Structure 1
Amino acid sequence: MTLTATQRSTLPGRHLWQAPEFTLAVIAVAGFAALAVATGGNLLSAGTLGAFFRFLAVPIVIGLSQMVVLAVGQMNLSVGALTGFCAMAAAWLMLEAGLPAPLAVLAALLLGLFAGVTNGVLVVLTRINGFIVTLATMTIIQGLRYGVNGPDTFQGYSPGLREFGRASILGLPAVFLVALAVAALVALFFSRTVPGRHLLASGGSPFAARLSGISNDRSLIVAHGLSGLLAGVAAVLTVAASGSVNATIGDDLLLPSFAAPIIGGVALTGGMVSVTGTLLAAFLVRLVDVMQAQFGINPRWVDLIIGAVVLGAVLLGTVRTKLQERSD
């Protein structure tokens, strides 16, 4: 049986504080409070707090993009490159092709969806693990991304889109609220829809899913397609929030894309998702980024810390799985 993290936390005899998400929430609150004190309250100023949540939007969506592929026991190494490519394409369509912002945004979303479905189809046709397939497509997409406009920067596109990227609603950045809405839709997809449950079943036990009449191939294509669509959403948020894009966009998103779901409790073997855990882990990774900026820490040390935490989360997840199998 495959469950979402929310369903696991409500099992009989299991208390809320025993869930990994509760631990992450406590760490997130404690870490935020500690950083606020360490910065002399600067973190709590309106400008800093707004920037914190504005630039948290993309890590949330990119983490969800990786999570949906992990749900079927796959990986998508192309999420960062695809996000950058869709962002560059959207900016090019507005500046060079003269398309209005809504059409450019729609094109970016469709481009991400098409690339994701292509990844899924290649995995199904070749029977090669998504890790290898998306490693290859990542390289191709990186070349295409650079080919859109070379090393030059796109800026000065749609004032309305850039204004949306700076806008706030009830004190919270609009792009952050969009990311939360996307997270809610992803949670509903896995908990309330048949395709979402099929993805979890295929990831938890492909053999049992096949005996139940579920097409594992379809699940793979749907998962990769949804991952690509979410990368397109992340691209749109990037274009709106940053105000300019270039060929390096997306290069730094691969590690955060894995960090958020894995630290959030998503298993590499598939069959389980945790939208809440992914959100909280993305928040923690963003805290580390702010700490690096505030105290001038070498970014390589930050990568080391995040990588070590991801490795620790994987090892703990493996131990937890083995203990559960023994108890069953």
Structure 2
Amino acid sequence: MSAGTMVETPAGGRIRRATRRPEFTLALLAVAGFAALAVATDGNLLSGGTLDAFFRYLAVPIVIGLSQMVVLAIGQMNLSVGALTGLCSMVAAWLMLQAGLPAPVAVLGALAVGLAAGLVNGLLVVVTRINGFIVTLATMTIIEGLRYGVNGPDTFQGYSQRLRDFGRASVLGLPVVFLAALAVAALVAVFFARTVAGRHLLATGGSPFAARLSGVSNDRSIVLAHGLSGLLAGAAAVITVAASGSVNSSIGDDLLLPSFAAPIIGGVALAGGVVSVAGTCLAAFLVRLVDVMQAQFGINPRWIDLIIGAVVLGAVLLGTVRQKLLRRSS
């Protein structure tokens, strides 16, 4: 071995691999973007109330991004996540105000509705053999009608004080709903990394034919992915009800684009087989920064939608190029 030859240690190799991951780039962008916005707002972003609101309203984008991510894992999409979040929110509020049920029962009801709707989506995909994009486009319109039917155009407010206190509570300066979203993200990460069902979902997304030869039921994976997506939409609804203090039939209308933006910018493959919980959370953070920038500087929301849409398109194109390069090198 020559004097100039360097031997890389295992730790050094792990660090170098980590710095090459998309999540590392997103983390740097998140830190740089947050610092730049703090400076641009003369430190207003760092004030107690603004910082609390920033993280409080980051909770739903994180969970709704994860809801879309689990379906992208099998190479499908769920266009109904926003409408379903709204429906579950309305159901939870209705159970508390109209049915007179306690908040814990209403929370379980919202989760049950989300899970049931997700399972119906998955079963429809399996039975009809129609792509999830088309199936969930159809169920989205049905769910929107159901959402409006719960209470019409009226607003639900004045429900459980304890649930609203939970939505406003903080621990060590961080909103409890944000910590709850991180806990949900941790559970999703464990599901994909440590459970057989999670690995089956990734196998189905990566190569349905190879998965079937290995004994994996692709149909079961499809139903499970959509069911889990619906359950996470229910969880996003619970956070919405707790944090907002009131809900109406328009809840969820603005969640479809963020649901795709977070996982796609976070490095999740549209073709399936690849997920990134950390990347999804970091991308949701970046999208939230853009929302705060729009509010602080009075930028037309249409321009914000254009920017986010362009970033999503760029992420898709980069992902496609990366997959082609990986195929050529393998």
TM-score range, shorter chain: over 0.9
The structure 2 residue matched to 1:174, chosen from 173, 176, 184, is 176
In structure 2, the residue matched to 1:30 is: 32
1:204 corresponds to 2:188: no
What SS does the aligned partner of 1:15 have?
helix
Task: Give the aligned partner of residue 191 of structure 1.
Answer: 193
Matches of 1:265 and 1:15, distance apart in 2? 16
Q: TM-score, normalised by structure 1?
A: 0.96
> Aligned runs of 1:112-261 on 2, under 5 Å?
112-261=114-263
Q: How does 1:66-145 map to 2 (within 5 A)?
A: 66-145=68-147
The amino acid that maps onto 1:217 is D
For 1:294 and 1:243, the matched residues in 2 are separated by 23
* Residue 270 of structure 1, aligned match among 269, 272, 275: 272
1:101-159 deviations in Å (ceiling 9; x for gaps): 00000000000000000000000000000000000000000000000001000000000
TM-superposed deviation, 1:74: 0.4
Runs (4 or more) in structure 1 with deviation over 4 Å come to: 10-14
1:59 counterpart (43, 58, 61): 61
- Confirm whether residue 299 of structure 1 aligns to residue 310 of structure 2: no
The alpha-carbon deviation at position 50 of structure 1 amounts to 0.4
CA displacement at 1:17 relative to structure 2: 1.0
1:53 maps to amino acid: F
Letter in 1 for 2:125: V
Gaps of 5+ in 2: 1-11
- 1:317 equivalent among 313, 316, 319: 319
- How far is 1:11 from its partner? 8.8
Q: How much does 1:287 deviate? A: 0.2
Q: 1:303 Cα deviation (Å)?
A: 0.3
Which residue number in structure 2 is paired with residue 285 of structure 1?
287
Deviation at 1:170, TM superposition (A): 1.1
String of CA shifts for 1:249-275, please: whole Å, max 9, x gaps. 000000000000000000000001000
Structure 1: runs of 5+ lacking an equivalent: 1-9
Distance in 1, Cα, partners of 2:15 & 2:85? 42
Deviation of residue 14 (structure 1)? 5.6
- The residue type paired with residue 121 of structure 1 is L
Corresponding position of 1:45: 47
> Alpha-carbon deviation of 1:12?
7.3
1:192 Cα offset (Å): 0.1
SS in 1 for 2:290: helix
What is the rounded CA distance, in whole Å, between the counterparts of 1:149 and 1:49 in structure 2? 33
Q: Distance in 1 between matches of 2:317 and 2:140?
A: 27
| TM-score normalized by the length of structure 2 | 0.96
Alignment partner, residue 9 of structure 2: none
**Equivalent position amino acid for 1:319 in 2:** V
Of residues 297, 305, 310 in structure 2, which corresponds to 1:308? 310
1:63 Cα offset (Å): 0.1
Q: Distance in 2 between matches of 1:239 and 1:142?
A: 18
Displacement after TM superposition at 1:16 (Å): 1.2
RMSD: 1.1
Q: Deviations over 1:306-326 (max 9, x none)?
A: 000000000000000000100
Q: Give the number of aligned pairs.
A: 319
Distance 1:112 1:131 in 2: 18
Q: Against the structure 1 CA distance between its residues 54 and 12, is the aligned structure 2 distance closer, same or farther, given a 3 Å change threshold?
A: closer
CA distance in 2, matches of 1:118, 1:248: 23
**Distance of 1:12 and 1:101 partners within structure 2:** 46
Q: 2-side partners of 1:93 and 1:110: how far apart? A: 13
Counterpart-to-counterpart distance in 2, 1:187 and 1:11:
23
